[in-house]
Amino acid sequence: MYNMIKTSLYGKFVMYNCVEAMYCWDDTTCNGGFTVEIIHRDSPKSPFYRPTETQLRRVAKAVHRSLRRANHFNQTFVSKNTAESTVTPGIGDYVMSYSVGTPEFKVFGIVDTGSDIVWMQCQPCKTCFDQTTPIFNPSNSTTYETLPCSSTSCKSDGRYSQGDLSLETLTLGSTIGSSVKFPRTVIGCGRNNSFFSEEKSSGIVGLGQGSLSLISQLSSSVGGKFSYCLAPIDNIASKLSFGDAAVVSGNGTVSTPITYHGHYYLTLEALSVAKNRIRLGKSNNGEGNIIIDSGTTLTLLPDDVYSKLESAVAREVKLKRVKDPSNQLSLCYKGAFHELHAPVITLHFSGDADVKLAVDNSFIDGGDGVVCFAFMASKTFSIFGNFAQKNILVGYDLQKKTVSFKPTDCVQQ
């Protein structure tokens, strides 16, 4: 009988006092920092890749995922009595390969700053959603150990995951060729997963602030620092760095405080388009008003702020305005990117951290010769999405509680 870990919508692992320290096998590598490659879900190297899928369909799915993501943030909650970690299979844009167990077993997981656990499906599996890669069987690993935790189930709306919390060796392949091993990593092993995932991911690599996330478990080895640099082209690998390799510094670097110990909340004071400055209201709880997120494609803003921003952008663009082919985005133009002379949008974060978004950050190829504004109105959460973060080195420092930005050519990074 395995420990029951029951999850609510998209899954929420619940456990008590089960976290153990995790240390790097090679302190020299970890103390100096290391970098791994991450790939976009639409890259030919991705398990999600569908060669026959059109650009129109990919954008429509990205919009759908972004809205689901906002809904997911709206429904998550944190109980003060338990350590909970949300599992959201299939929602996310960037994937990394890593290995678990001894001997090593290759796994693909969604890199997610909005999740707080390393999670995957495991054999024997009573009910597992379909995935293109083999499912990990702990009985084949000599280093797998089930945590003797006192687990409890939480109320569910009908979608759940049941399984074990375990200790297992996790191996990351660095860009310099050598691998980095982390023994006794806490991993969620799902064996009865009633939620449906239309995608084919094996799991999740959570980079949130919760105690079970990868960055929290690595904290003693990498100083609570990680960064990513997202390439502007989907078929080119992006970079995810840890420790000293994740430090963002030098000319052009700006930093803003993380204002909440949960999701990565920042305070966005205003947006500027040309000479038009659009202010955002403060959050009701004073804990920041926008989540920076690796798992949401588009950038979502409150209805009134989005309306003003769209109008300001539309006044500057001279192409013919057309309807979105997917009927989901509200500001689209007929033409190619080289014909689009869109204004720079500046995000004004607290701490005098101004982040400038070029046209490649603010407009997306909508398919059928149409380009669309990659922002949307939201009635729930404001989210700084990953599309707007491309070609920006984004660094998280959980000890200093800051996020830093630096304009960077992420293809050459």
Predicted pLDDT at 182: 93
Helix or strand holding residue 268 (H, E)? strand 268-273
Cα–Cα distances in angstroms (integers) from residue 44 to residues 66, 118, 165, 307, in the given order: 22, 24, 32, 36
Is the model's pLDDT at 78 over the cut of 50? no
| Residue 358 phi, psi (nearest 5) | -80, 180
Task: Categorize the per-residue pLDDT at 102 as very low, low, confident or very high, splitting at 50, 70 and 90.
Answer: very high
**C-alpha angle 81/87/91, rounded to 5°?**
145
The CA-to-CA distance between both ends of the chain, in Å, stands at 48
Per-residue pLDDT averaged across 229-241, rounded? 93
**Per-residue pLDDT averaged across 292-311, rounded?**
95
Residue 203 pLDDT grade (very low, low, confident, very high; cuts 50, 70, 90): confident
- Which of 63-77, 222-236, 340-354 is least confident? 63-77
pLDDT digits (tens, 9 = 90+) for 375-408: 999 988 899 999 999 999 999 999 999 999 999 9
SS3 content of the chain, % helix, strand, coil (to 5): 15, 35, 50
Band (pLDDT 50/70/90 cuts) for residue 312 is: very high
**CA angle (229, 233, 235) in 5-degree steps:** 100
pLDDT at 238 over 50: yes
pLDDT of residue 153: 31
Lowest mean pLDDT among 103-107, 160-164, 175-179: 160-164
* SS3 state of residue 8: coil
pLDDT at position 29 is: 55
Position 159 confidence tier, pLDDT thresholds 50, 70, 90: very low
Q: Which of 147-156, 209-218, 349-358 has the highest mean pLDDT?
A: 349-358
Provide the residue type at 292 as one letter.
I
| pLDDT band of 294, cuts 50, 70, 90 | very high
Q: Which residue has the higher pLDDT, 17 or 228?
A: 228
pLDDT-derived band at 31 (thresholds 50, 70, 90) equals low
Give the burial class of 94: count Cβ atoms within 10 A of its Cβ; 0-12 exposed, 13-18 middle, 19 or more buried: buried
Residue 11, pLDDT > 90, answer no
Contact 231, 411 (CB under 8 A): yes
Instruction: Name the residue among 233, 264, 215 with its Cα closest to residue 111.
Output: 215
pLDDT at site 177: 73
Q: Who wins on pLDDT, 15 or 96? A: 96
pTM for the model: 0.88
Q: Is the pLDDT of residue 13 over 50?
A: no
Average pLDDT over residues 251-262: 91
pLDDT of 30 > 70? The answer is no
34-43 pLDDT, tens per residue? 999 999 998 9
Task: Tell me the range of 118-122, 140-144, 177-181, 196-200 where mean pLDDT is highest.
Answer: 140-144
Strands 370-373 and 363-367: antiparallel
Average pLDDT value over all residues in the chain:
83
Residues contacting residue 185 through CB under 8 Å, at least 6 positions apart: 22, 118, 167, 168, 169, 170, 214, 217
Q: What element of type H or E holds 27?
A: helix 27-32
pLDDT-derived band of residue 79, with 50, 70 and 90 as boundaries? Answer: very low
CA 151 from chain centre, in angstroms, equals 27
Measured CA to CA, the distance from residue 169 to residue 301 in angstroms comes to: 40
pLDDT at 178: 80
Catalytic residues: 112, 293
| Contacts (Cβ under 8 Å, ≥6 apart) of 142 | 101, 102
Tens digit of each residue's pLDDT (9 = 90 or more) over 339-369: 999 999 999 999 999 999 999 999 999 888 9
Locate 289 and state its tokens: 């008003």
Instruction: Give the residue among 248, 178, 208 at the shortest CA–CA distance from 92.
Output: 208
Question: Hey, how many other C-beta atoms are within 10 angstroms of the C-beta on 315?
Answer: 12
Distances (CA, A) of 313 to 197, 300, 387, 404: 36, 15, 17, 26
**Mean pLDDT of the 57-67 span:** 86
